[in-house]
Amino acid sequence: MSYFNPEHRRRKSILPLLTLGSLCVFILYYAFAANQRTVPVLPENAVRPHLVHWLEENPDAWPAQDPIFNPAAVRKIYQRTDYRLLWFDNYSLSDSANDLLKQLTAASSGNPSSMVDYRYHLGYFDRTLRDTPQRLQMAAVLDILLTDAFVSYAQDTQLDRLKPKTRPRRGITPVLRDNEGFRLVATSTGEQQASNEPSGRKYFRGYDRAANLGSNVRSRYYSREYNTDTSGNYSGRNYSGTTRNYERSRYRSYRDNNSGSNSSSRVYYNQGRSNSTSAPIRSENSEGPYYEENKPYGNDVRALRGELQRLRKISSSGRWRPIPPGPAMTMGARHPHVSHLRNLLALYGDYQSYYSYGGTDRNRFDRGLHQAVMRFQKRHGLRPDGIVGRSTRKRLNLSPAARARIVEMNIKRREELPEQLGSRFIQVNIPAYRLKYVENDQVKLAMNVVVGKKKHATPEITTRVSKVVFNPTWTVPRSILVNEILPKARKNPAGMEKMGYRVISGRGEKLPLTPQNLSAAGAGSYLMRQMGGEENILGRIKFEIPNIHDVYLHDTRARKLFSLTTRGYSHGCIRLEKPRHLAEALLRPQGDWDQWRIDQLTTGEETTEVDMSQLVKVYITYWTAWVDGQGNLNFRPDIYGKDGLADNQF
């Protein structure tokens, strides 16, 4: 039989093919792995032209959305380093940059202020650093913003609030590259160098560095050490029960005997301390020393009438046009709507002159327009980020005719109050979520406040401060008791008792939260009261202002609300961001009141009441338009719908 007969042909083995294929796969795998381990090398001077162009030749051509907050310092740093990248290792961020980002994020995480993220460019870093930057331009932008953020952080953490005469001379070189990463280099005195205490503030805008870094950092606040006797009274009045009483003369005597020749001097932590081993009691929520702001109050009705005439002229001129729908606009953008935005802000007076900022492209969102947008946002209570998004566009598109109508209604509201509001008074403007304490037409203290929800609207009233209560108790109103407190107390009586809640009988006895006592409180036979202390819903300080609505000014445990743009969360009362500063400002004329005395009264659980010996008026107003002390016309949304204008409602 023939060999080529198909029946006798042998089958070929596939083993050589498998061997060859495996070898090819093995070679390709190692070639790919070797390629992955290859790090691209960034040319030394490749980014220098971009840095020189943006920092020296044409700063208005800056391509990033975020501005540079420290242009002079950043420019000087890059001049010293011959315009080289400081935060990159080839195309990747260096370990120093990663350490800096972690520190900035930690500082911002405990900060109630929304401007910190913007000041440190954290939003831009979060959007950009999701992928490794492979373009030279992006690397240059990131490097400049990291340097700017580092300078801002160094300013916030390294400079103490010392008096000019006592502030030590400092020579800070912001960036030093070494094996340990980035660090500050400062010229210090011998006494400071010998100290083992770390420099910088313990509290960085709400960020407790000692708690987060695990270090025993002393407070940056000055210290005065004294003991206060509790056997006396205020103004000859005795308080019984749990009320703590003090004797002013004893307090003065101790202060004079222990403060040396300069009894009014205040000692900072880096200027030496007393040898006394006893430390003053300081509240965990201490707000530090109170510094008067001394800004003009304004809010004159004649200025408001002048703005009304200006808005009527703008409306009748026909020059106003709303911005059409489109994308969000920010610095560096090029769009036909940018020119429209420029004209609109110039019409309102926020954009002074286009040509004063240089450049010829009116469709480019330059630095001058960015500043104008921020001015407009501040006047309207928006977050001043310089980005024309949905909220800013809505406020820009409020027509001059509608604005004139709003101003007319607010002129009537201002005329309902006395022309002269008094030498000392407090004004709370509900739509602005803002309180101002004024002396002799100068704003001495201003702070954010939380006002009532729309269904629990804070009323417009004129009253006075009758007393200041430290560690106040809270008698639960009937509506809150039935709808909120009683269900919680029945579900968890032990937890509510731990928070200080007690049932109060008709004879004033404090009863436990038993089912029988809770039923009696629900029926109206007994009251429900929360004792003073850290868990009290009113916080540590309450300002009683007599009124038929049973509202008052008080502290709060919900501190995070003050960082929000809209702050309508209460049941009608007004929660204060800085109650201790307000107490010090009000009580200063009555004697020796400072932060340490107030801090002592706001510890523990004992209640102290201090009557006001001088009249301080309180005006709780509803102004959606007013002219401030700098002559700027401000607007706020109509949060309670009292203006009747849908375009201005929140």
Residues marked active site are found at 554, 573
- Alpha-helical segments (H) within 422-560: 478-480, 486-491, 493-498, 515-523
Q: Do 524 and 482 touch, CB atoms closer than 8 A? A: no
CA–CA dist 223, 259 (Å, integer): 11
Q: Do 221 and 289 touch, CB atoms closer than 8 A? A: yes
Q: Residue 16: how many CB atoms within 10 A of its CB? A: 9
Q: Which residues pair with 475 in a beta bridge?
A: 529
Burial of 441 (0-12, 13-18, 19+ CB in 10 A): middle
Residue 591, token pair as written in the block: 């004697």
Residue 494, token pair as written in the block: 């032990």
The set of residues, in sequence order, having a beta carbon less than 8 Å from that of 425 and lying 6+ positions away, is 437, 438, 616, 617, 618, 619
Radius of gyration of the chain (CA): 32
Total H helices, total E strands in the chain = 21, 22
The set of residues, in sequence order, having a beta carbon less than 8 Å from that of 559 and lying 6+ positions away, is 112, 285
Q: Do 397 and 348 touch, CB atoms closer than 8 A? A: no
CA–CA dist 598, 591 (Å, integer): 12
Strands 461-464 and 568-570: unpaired
